[in-house]
Chain A
Amino acid sequence: MKKMKYITMIVAVALAMFTLNSCVNDLNVTPLNTAISTETTTFSNTSGPYIGYLAKIYAGFATGGIQGGDANVDVVGMDGGSQAGYLRPLWNLQELPTDEAMCCWNDQTIQNFHWMSWTSSDIFIKGLYARLYYQITIATAFLQETTDAKLTSRNVSSTLKDSITTFRAEARFLRALAYYNVLDMFRNGPLINDASPIGSATLPPYGTGQQIFSYIESELTDCQTTLLAPAIGHTNTYGHANKAAAWALLARLYLNADTYLGTTGTTKYYTSCIDNCKKVIAAGYQLEPVYQNIYVTDNYNSKEIIFPIETDGTNLTSWGGMQFLECSATASDNSYNPLNAPGNWGGNRATKEFLGRFTSEPNYTDDSRYSMLYTGYNHTSIDDQSEFKNGVQVFKFSNLSSTGVKNTASFASTDFPLLRLGDVYLMYAEAFLRGGTATGATQALALQYINALSSRANSLSGGNYVAADLTLSFILEERAREMFWECTRRTDLVRFGKLTDANYVWQWKGGVKAGTGASSYRNIYPIPSADLSANSNLQQNTGY
């Protein structure tokens, strides 16, 4: 009996040991899905993954995710098409608080922008902020993944290394672009750079406007040396950021430097602005002969566009980019759709005060830009805020080609001109008027550029300005006429001190029908409360 007992004990223990020993190591797993790979299996010495990664950074400005129609989104917790992309949130935050646009929908807090009553928990602000920092983070991660040390360890050939050097410069440009938007909209925010540990719990430090400004300036100055040469029109470097894009962005940065740094009359920045404008102009860009053709489906041929955000009806579809700009401008009953918008959402139109930007111009009735404004509903006063046909409709972004051919895809196909020559001409003139003293910069040259814009817009009776017409307030009005709906209005009004001014009003500004002023803290947006709670290093902007 005892023997039996011992035997059974031994058998039991042996059985237990056998089963216990196996399988604890099974807990170390790697993803089964071949489409998901780790760092070591993704990057080697072939160009594919590097260019795919770079393409993602570019695409982050054009669509919300890695699937068409903003599916499979990058930024979560909100609607992919309307809140988690780049262009639509940028447009909302740059255009709705101004005379150029008012939305008639009731999507959550969208009305707060025109009423100047947004809060730090606003979802549209949160979405743009998240998108900008998403772009900053993946660009930084790309740079950390393509350091010389890492490339050498992967036996990357020297030709590929050279290409990657250009990719790195482009990633730095794209990151600087995102930081520029942060500086312009939020002024302060978390500041990460190539040394920041991504994926760890370390909280990024707080960057003031001054620090972010300096960082953008140094990045753009540095990366422009290895960026591709400027490309005029449609070339085989289409889509890539090039030196001219860096110059144009630097020009924007310097033109607004006083605002961003809280100073006044700092001449050196206006001088630097003019210098960069000169480089762009010298590169050979030309104004598009017909203004409408900057915004057509084949504008990839345009010699005026310096840096586009691509859109394609088949290969790069989104509800938040050009699709939104075209569809939200036409009435939902399709009663007037001159530019073949692929949908009729009846959302955004301008205030009647915007008409005033043109009516002060001589011979405005011949201005082809003015003809983009539609008053055919005969109700330019916005009496009913939710009625699309109250107000001035704007038909700028076209779903037709330069020869009038319709785009048959259900999504838009027109690139968005983020940086273009027309803007550079205006920046040159303004920087000059503000005291920039670059070599060879004269009032005559500034006037020449302004007249070029005027005669392009108005071939019949434009281009006749004289030196006396060239004042700062004229520049503000001409910028409205030239750059409307291109995401610069809010920045321009802030620079001229007019955004919150009680004496420069339009309908429903500040929530009051006749328009009223707002507190000056509204010149910048609040840091979203979500990030304030997640990062204790940050401070909220004054007033919020």
Chain B
Amino acid sequence: MKNLNAASSHPLRRWWTLLFACLFVMSISAQTISVKGVVKDAKTGETIVGANVIVKGTTTGTVTDVDGNFSLNAPSQGTLVVKYVGYTDAELPVAGKTTLVFNLKESAIALNEVIAIGYGQVKKNDLTGSVVAISADKMNKGLATSFTDILAGKMAGVNITTGGGAPGGGATIRIRGGSSMSASNDPLIVIDNVPIEGGTVNGLANPLSSINPQDIETFTVLKDASATAIYGSRASNGVILITTKKGSVKQKMAITYDGSASVSTIAKQIDVLSAQDYGMFVRTYWGSASTQAGLLGKYNIDWQKQIFQTAMGHDHNLSVSGAVGKLPYRVSIGYTDQNGILKTSNFSRTTAALNLNPTFLNDHLKVNMSLKGTYSTNRFADTGAIGAALETDPTQPIYTASSTYGNTYWMWLGTDGKPQSLGTANPLSILTEKRDVSYVYQSMGDLQLDYKFHGIPELRANLNLAYDISNSNGSKTINANSPISYVWGSKKNGAGEFDPYFQKKSNTLLDFYMDYAKVFGIHSIDVMGGYSWQHFYNDSWGATYYSDNVANVPRIDYPTAYQLVSFFGRANYTLKEKYLLTVTLRDDGTSRFGKDNRWGLFPSLALAWKIKEESFLKNVNWLSDLKLRLGYGVTGQQNLNISNDYPYIASYSISNYNDAQYQLGNTWYHLLRPSYYNTSLKWESTKTYNVGVDLGFMNNRITASVDVYKRVTNDMINVVPVAAGTNFINEMVSNIGNMENKGVEFSVSGKPVVSRNFTWDLSYNISYNKNKITKLTNSTDASYGVTGGGIGGGTGNTIYLQKVGYPVNSFYVQKQLYDTQGRPIESAYANGGALYLDHSPAPDFTMGLSSRMNYKQWYLNFSMRSSIGNYNYNNVQSSKEFQNQSFTTGSLKNIVSTGLVTNFKNAQYLSDYYIQNASFARMDNVTLGYNIDKLLNTKLKASIYGTVQNVFVITKYKGLDPEVSGGIDNTIYPRPRIFILGLRVNF
């Protein structure tokens, strides 16, 4: 166009140009010309690599290059079509132009995204239950030995608390609060269609660490009963569906390497008295001429520094995915080796995974096969070393050359020169003289056959066969003559100890269902019916051998097994694509209960109304999505959390222990004990009511979701007192309580800034949950409560009370009285020291915030989490600050610095002074990265990033870390601050 304008200044030139133009046009329509151009993203303006540019109606085509440019020959009157995944196809007529610019618009993926639900898939748009899905790229980057690390804070209503900072350490996942008191509160985890058993594996702190997070494709969390009821008897605490990455036929072979190196440092130490301050304290408190002062040493040791270290770790993953002919595959291997900040702790894991997804019979038979194998080794460092480090006298040395006891480590000796059995064990020796190691092999495999019937394309049959096995062994060795051998355990005589253990678990599954889906005009239906069979087997043994006891210790095996058999069905009905109805029903049978209580029926009903599709909203452009969801369902719980798979069978066990026999006459006899049993034990059932609204604005640039729910658990399984004289125990698992959880969840996600060079994604979620026990025993005695929650210090002290009208695990304490300056008065309590219920460890509100920013090649992401209204019992303070603790067992002990402020002489374990507000806001990670498009002038794409994990915590809590699962803070393994440098290369 520009050329013509320039030429029009001269009349003659104008005529000649027009003639040429006409000729040109005429020639074009009859010829193919070379067309060049560029394909860009309509919003960001970024060029798109690898887009398909095709001449419409032909097979002529090309692909855009690294700069988004293309060049091909096309008929001058033809049309070019550009296609790319995630965008709607764009067409432009060639019309004689030699250069074309395509601006592709993102297709509304968010709504057409397919989400996995139990035994099937559904479009996100068509969901009727409360379901949240998160894909791999949205997850937290950084050091993740388990997927629990990368999920924290990402989803409303899903709370993940790690057990501490130990490498490979476990985590507690709670969806919408727990629904049980003593039965398991863990959600059901389904990995590639295999519901895993979920119990502990001896020797592995976190059984979920067998899945390499790098292999995970999506997480879907099913929160309300209308979504989870299809899993029936195990779904009361929610369901997490995990799928792993697969190859695809359309994909070229892609090789990816992900690696990182990390440095972990201790973020914070507990403040104890220094050697100088401690010496001064002992001389002032006990007297400068006292025996206590005489025990002081001359050294100056920071014991916490002695046991902690800066730890290194590294992690490598390599995956290859693509297709061999028509067989798509993905193979990956990974290796992680991580040391912990507590000396000697280590976790290492090697994983291998294979996914094959061929299709046969012209896509009628889809086969998904996945195999995973893991080998993990652990060396566990005893966290007792931390408690000991807080208590050990800082004026004493670490080593000693002068004693026959302790294997060169200094330890407390009595006046007779013999080991003082009630002194503290040397903290460093706890780590080095004890070796607690485990070796775990795990493997999981799944074969799924999905057959679409020839001739009846609406009918599908699906068969799923899976296994999940683990084989672990390990041992704990304590060296003879070590400080621990004199101070810990039941012998305390210097004998070494060797405790080997072994466990074998296997879980096998067979699932079969048939699905019929058809559209009749404005009606569409989808009916599914199926059957499931799952068997769980567990065999373990362990023994204890002492170096001074040559008596024969028998190997005692404990094999046990249980079985689940179920029938399930679901019907989905949609009217005019606006009104949706889902009904599910599951009938579960378990071998754990007696014949009369064996089967449980779990129905659910959900309704959804896509309000956006209604005519009155169809033209409201700023509102891109509005859906109302109503759900009701009943789920069950049969994971009793007791180590007994046969609680209803009357049985006897003969004890093989040689140190508990009775002598009658001249013979020692082993003891035969009848076991307690409960024939009327049955399922827990939870009813959930859920109302939700999903919203989208500005073409889903902002999406939001609100859910209001109520969950009522009946026949709650709980350990409660049994009437004396009726059974062989005083407290037994029975169905004897009701509990209720009510809450609101809100989550919003959007892109505040979308421009050429800079995009910003932000998402925030907040949830509120209130838990209350509504019934506890058959009696209506209002003052009745069940104690629990053991604490350290004294013997048998407990801090929880379960009582009707209060949240689960409420603290049961005495009300401390204070003086005019706000200092607590020792032993002075309100109401004569009567105990009352004060707060609970569960938070009122939890929030999560994540942000992702992209600026050209750079990216900066961070994620934060907050918990408000949770309280902890600071057991570290209550057991280590009272001043008489400094000399309670004939040896000196250090006290924490707060001891000089609180000024208690004796322990006041039950004071509410120790119930402290542990609300916190934590920045979990910050990542800064750079994408390289052409690494070393090749086609390689790479990304380098640096991450800091556990960046900071804002809290008023006086203890080390406010985040303690269960709320009893008694020296957890501290969470380290981790600095990571990572590299990802795509070949």
- Which of A's residues lie within 8 Å of B, judged by CB? 1, 4-5, 8-9, 12, 15-16, 19-20, 22-24, 26-39, 42, 49, 51-56, 58-59, 62-63, 65-69, 72, 74-79, 82-83, 105-108, 123, 129-130, 133-134, 136-138, 140-141, 189-192, 196, 198-204, 236-240, 310, 312, 314-317, 332-335, 343-345, 386, 410, 529-536
A533 to B721, CA, bound (A): 8
A314 touching B659, Cβ below 8 Å: yes
Name the CB-closest residue of A to B784. A533
B560 touching A5, Cβ below 8 Å: no
Lowest 3 A-B CB distances belong to which pairs?
A: A68-B659, A52-B672, A66-B655
Set of chain B residues within 8 Å of A237, measured between Cβ atoms: 664-665
A55 touching B721, Cβ below 8 Å: no
Set of chain A residues within 8 Å of B422, measured between Cβ atoms: 332, 344-345
Set of chain A residues within 8 Å of B739, measured between Cβ atoms: none
B722 at the interface (CB under 8 A from A): yes
A332 to B423, CA, bound (A): 10
A32 touching B459, Cβ below 8 Å: no
A315 touching B659, Cβ below 8 Å: yes
Name the CB-closest residue of B to A82. B795
B746 CB to nearest A CB, Å: 40
Write 8 A-B pairs (CB below 8 A) sorted by A numbering: A28-B595, A29-B646, A35-B654, A42-B652, A107-B796, A130-B724, A192-B726, A316-B662
B13 at the interface (CB under 8 A from A): no
Q: Name the one of B595, B729, B795 contacting A75, with C-beta atoms under 8 angstroms.
A: B729
Set of chain B residues within 8 Å of A29, measured between Cβ atoms: 561-563, 591, 645-646
A31 touching B730, Cβ below 8 Å: no
Query: What 1/0 flags go to B636-677 for Cβ under 8 Å of A?
Result: 000000000110011111111111111111101111111101
B779 at the interface (CB under 8 A from A): yes
A141 to B729, CA, bound (A): 13
B725 touching A133, Cβ below 8 Å: yes
A69 to B546, CA, bound (A): 15
A55 touching B662, Cβ below 8 Å: yes
B889 at the interface (CB under 8 A from A): yes
A413 CB to nearest B CB, Å: 12
Cβ < 8 Å to A, chain B residues 553-574: 556-563, 565, 567
Set of chain B residues within 8 Å of A345, measured between Cβ atoms: 422
Set of chain A residues within 8 Å of B680, measured between Cβ atoms: 201
B87 at the interface (CB under 8 A from A): no
A52 to B666, CA, bound (A): 14
B665 touching A240, Cβ below 8 Å: yes
B757 at the interface (CB under 8 A from A): no
Instruction: Give the size category of B's interface with A.
Output: 35 or more
Q: Name the one of B651, B660, B663 contacting A68, with C-beta atoms under 8 angstroms.
A: B660
Known contacts: A38-B649, A316-B661, A533-B721. The answer to whether A106 contacts B907 by CB under 8 A is: yes
Q: Name the one of B461, B551, B728, B730 contacting A15, with C-beta atoms under 8 angstroms.
A: B461
A108 touching B794, Cβ below 8 Å: yes
A68 to B454, CA, bound (A): 68
A123 to B835, CA, bound (A): 14
A100 to B377, CA, bound (A): 56
B527 CB to nearest A CB, Å: 14
A536 to B778, CA, bound (A): 9
Q: Which of B145-153, B335-343, B490-498, B858-866 contacts A (4 or more CB under 8 A)?
A: B490-498
A27 touching B598, Cβ below 8 Å: yes
Q: Which of B384-392, B413-421, B427-435, B612-620 contacts A (4 or more CB under 8 A)?
A: B413-421
Set of chain A residues within 8 Å of B663, measured between Cβ atoms: 238-239, 310, 312, 315-316
Set of chain B residues within 8 Å of A69, measured between Cβ atoms: 490, 659
Set of chain B residues within 8 Å of A333, measured between Cβ atoms: 414-415, 890
Set of chain A residues within 8 Å of B491, measured between Cβ atoms: 410
B666 touching A238, Cβ below 8 Å: yes
Set of chain A residues within 8 Å of B565, measured between Cβ atoms: 23-24, 26-27
Known contacts: A39-B652, A533-B781. The answer to whether A55 contacts B723 by CB under 8 A is: no
A204 to B493, CA, bound (A): 47
A199 touching B727, Cβ below 8 Å: yes
Name the CB-closest residue of A to B671. A56
Q: Name the one of A12, A42, A137, A386 contacting B453, with C-beta atoms under 8 angstroms.
A: A12
Set of chain B residues within 8 Å of A15, measured between Cβ atoms: 461, 512
Set of chain B residues within 8 Å of A314, measured between Cβ atoms: 551, 658-659
A77 touching B731, Cβ below 8 Å: yes
A138 to B721, CA, bound (A): 17
Known contacts: A53-B672, A334-B416, A534-B720. The answer to whether A67 contacts B664 by CB under 8 A is: no
B715 CB to nearest A CB, Å: 14
A51 touching B664, Cβ below 8 Å: yes
B697 at the interface (CB under 8 A from A): no
A312 CB to nearest B CB, Å: 7
Set of chain B residues within 8 Å of A68, measured between Cβ atoms: 490, 657-660
A120 to B668, CA, bound (A): 39
B533 at the interface (CB under 8 A from A): yes
Known contacts: A19-B510, A23-B533, A533-B779. The answer to whether A8 contacts B453 by CB under 8 A is: yes
Known contacts: A59-B660, A199-B677. The answer to whether A410 contacts B493 by CB under 8 A is: yes
B679 at the interface (CB under 8 A from A): yes
Name the CB-closest residue of A to B490. A69
Set of chain A residues within 8 Å of B721, measured between Cβ atoms: 77, 530-531, 533-534
A28 touching B591, Cβ below 8 Å: yes
The listed residue with most A CB atoms (<10 A of its CB), out of B493, B651, B677, B728, is: B651
Set of chain B residues within 8 Å of A34, measured between Cβ atoms: 557
Q: Name the one of B645, B669, B794 contacting A55, with C-beta atoms under 8 angstroms.
A: B669
Set of chain B residues within 8 Å of A24, measured between Cβ atoms: 565, 589
Name the CB-closest residue of B to A39. B650
A343 touching B421, Cβ below 8 Å: yes
A178 to B363, CA, bound (A): 75
Name the CB-closest residue of A to B539. A32
The listed residue with most A CB atoms (<10 A of its CB), out of B595, B660, B720, is: B660
Q: Name the one of B658, B662, B666, B909 contacting A59, with C-beta atoms under 8 angstroms.
A: B662
Query: What 1/0 flags go to B762-786 for Cβ under 8 Å of A?
Result: 0000000000000001110101100
A8 touching B649, Cβ below 8 Å: no
Known contacts: A23-B565, A316-B661. The answer to whether A192 contacts B671 by CB under 8 A is: no
Known contacts: A12-B459, A49-B652, A332-B890. The answer to whether A236 contacts B665 by CB under 8 A is: yes
Set of chain B residues within 8 Å of A83, measured between Cβ atoms: 795-796
Set of chain A residues within 8 Å of B795, measured between Cβ atoms: 79, 82-83, 105, 107-108
Set of chain A residues within 8 Å of B675, measured between Cβ atoms: 36
Set of chain A residues within 8 Å of B884, measured between Cβ atoms: 386
B725 touching A204, Cβ below 8 Å: yes
B673 touching A74, Cβ below 8 Å: yes
A30 to B909, CA, bound (A): 45
A334 touching B415, Cβ below 8 Å: yes
B877 CB to nearest A CB, Å: 16
Set of chain B residues within 8 Å of A58, measured between Cβ atoms: 662, 664
A39 to B493, CA, bound (A): 41
Q: Name the one of A4, A31, A133 contacting B649, with C-beta atoms under 8 angstroms.
A: A31
B725 touching A36, Cβ below 8 Å: no
B11 at the interface (CB under 8 A from A): no
Set of chain A residues within 8 Å of B69, measured between Cβ atoms: none
Q: Name the one of B416, B563, B646, B726 contacting A198, with C-beta atoms under 8 angstroms.
A: B726
Apart from A108-B795, A531-B723, 11 more pairs, CB < 8 Å:
A19-B531, A52-B670, A59-B662, A67-B655, A123-B796, A141-B728, A239-B665, A310-B662, A333-B890, A335-B415, A529-B784
A9 to B514, CA, bound (A): 11
Set of chain A residues within 8 Å of B598, measured between Cβ atoms: 27
Name the CB-closest residue of B to A207. B725
A190 to B650, CA, bound (A): 23
Q: Name the one of A75, A136, A240 contacting B664, with C-beta atoms under 8 angstroms.
A: A240
A155 to B493, CA, bound (A): 50
A190 CB to nearest B CB, Å: 5
Name the CB-closest residue of B to A76. B731
Known contacts: A317-B659, A332-B890. The answer to whether A129 contacts B724 by CB under 8 A is: yes
Cβ < 8 Å to A, chain B residues 522-543: 531, 533, 535, 539
Q: Name the one of A4, A20, A38, A137 contacting B726, with C-beta atoms under 8 angstroms.
A: A137
